Amino acid sequence: MARWILHVDMDEFFAAVERLDNPALAGKAILVGASARERGVVATASYEARKFGCHSAMPTGEALRLCPHAVLVPPRHGRYEEVGLQVREILERFSPAIEPLGLDEAFLDVTGSGRLFGPAPDIAANIKATIRRELKLTASVGVAPNKFLAKLASDLRKPDALMVITPETVQATLDPLPVRKIWGVGPAAEAQLAAMGIRTIAQLRVAGEATMERRFGQSGLHLLQLARGEDARPVVMDERAKSISQEVTFATDLADLRELRAVLLRQTEQVARRLRRSGLRAKTVSLKLRSGDFVTRTRSHTLEEPTDVTDELWSVTGMLFDRWWAAEACPLRLIGMGVSQLTAGGQLTLLPPPHREKRQRLDKALDALADRFGPTAPRRGGSPRQDREGD
Ligand SMILES: [Mg+2]
């Protein structure tokens, strides 16, 4: 299943924010960092300063020797966080599947966003235009079938870049690049590879698996995968959007097993449907139960593989509930279920077993009915009392 991943990276972020807030800095070489007297290092160098060899993590004193006319600005992290959140809010309009990397970078899985926003390169252009229009800042965006290639793409033509790598152009893009462009190849690995006569990704790609494994162990094989442009890691969402749940508080405590299970089934269906609508899958299923005396219990179970299939989520929810009921059944004031450890994108590892395909077809059919008929649409067996439900 083809994925589309975006890597959005704000250009010279801290320096750009300083320029935004102080137009007198326009066109000037800017170094954001603590002073040399405080033994500071450069957090961000503007492109004008980079022309003189300044870069981030360099001691401020050294940067000022290279570029004596640069304006040194002390960092204002609170302000960068504020603008970072504004960027994040723009990204969230295009996909819920966001993995932030620090304040000014993020991966987005837009595989499921196509129906609303068009092809991935259009989404990237749209994001760049929105950031420019609303925040007066520029971002570089890489568009590719995986995280490694998307990050590489955003970096290749910085600043203000929009670079697309398609499955067809992966190898031609990678081959001429030096091996250090591969994520995780630092100076030490670069030197070791150079000693083996491997300088470009093309040369790395044809190095035998046996050779690479002998020299670098597992990470040698991993390097070969990256050299081929392969990277199956999912976009992992952070705390902010980490779970989806439903719960209901009853007007009077409910002790009827069949009714309780029916409420839970309905909640599971709703949660699963929200997962599918957002192109997400969940690994952990949790149950929340509160008895009349306000004691709250939670139970959870983590699956081997994340899923968005209603029946698979229900089999876990139902199992957790039945176990609790067998051990300590009592009237409930509140019942709820939720999912967490969410990941974006289609099934990456195994081919779906045939029974899963059948369940996915059923989910699709029921989703379509729910879209058309709303709450009165047909659904799985078991019908909870409507008057007791609430979201
Ligand atoms: Mg950046």
For 296, the enclosing helix (H) or strand (E) is strand 296-307
Q: What is the pLDDT of residue 352?
A: 54
What's the pLDDT at 305? 85
For residue 391, pLDDT beyond 50:
no
pTM for the model: 0.67
Q: What is the mean pLDDT of residues 162-179?
A: 97
Q: Which of 48, 99, 105, 269 is catalytic?
A: 105
Distance, CA 12 to ligand 1 centroid (Å)?
Answer: 6
CA 14–ligand 1 middle distance (angstroms): 9
* Dist. CA 212 → ligand 1 center (Å): 32
What local confidence, expressed as pLDDT, does residue 84 receive? 93
Question: Average pLDDT of the chain?
Answer: 88
Residue 150 has pLDDT above 70, yes or no: yes
Note whether 65 and 82 are within 8 A (CB). no
Tens-place pLDDT, residues 180-201:
999 888 888 899 999 999 999 9
Q: What is the mean pLDDT of residues 68-75?
A: 96
What is 242-388's CATH superfamily? DNA polymerase, Y-family, little finger domain (3.30.1490.100)
C-alpha pair distances (Å), 142 with each of 5, 14, 22, 121:
8, 20, 29, 9
Which helix (H) or strand (E) covers residue 141, if one does? strand 139-144
> Quick one: what percent of the chain has pLDDT higher than 90?
64
Q: What is the per-residue pLDDT across 273-308, written as a single tens digit (0 to 9) for each?
A: 888 877 788 989 999 999 988 899 999 999 888 898
Catalytic annotation present for 105: yes
330 CA to centre of ligand 1 in angstroms: 54
Q: What is the pLDDT of residue 32?
A: 96
Single-letter code of the amino acid located at 54: C
Class assignment of domain 171-227? mainly alpha
How far apart are the CA of 273 and the centre of ligand 1, in A?
A: 35
Give the class (CATH, top level) of 1-165.
alpha beta
Instruction: Quickly state the pLDDT bin for 126 (edges 50, 70, 90).
Output: very high
pLDDT above 70: residue 251? yes
Distance CA 174, CA 154 (A): 14
| Backbone φ, ψ for residue 267 (5° rounding) | -65, -40
* Domain ranges, ordered by start, for the chain: 1-165, 171-227, 242-388
Measured CA angle at 337 (ends 333, 343), to 5 deg: 160
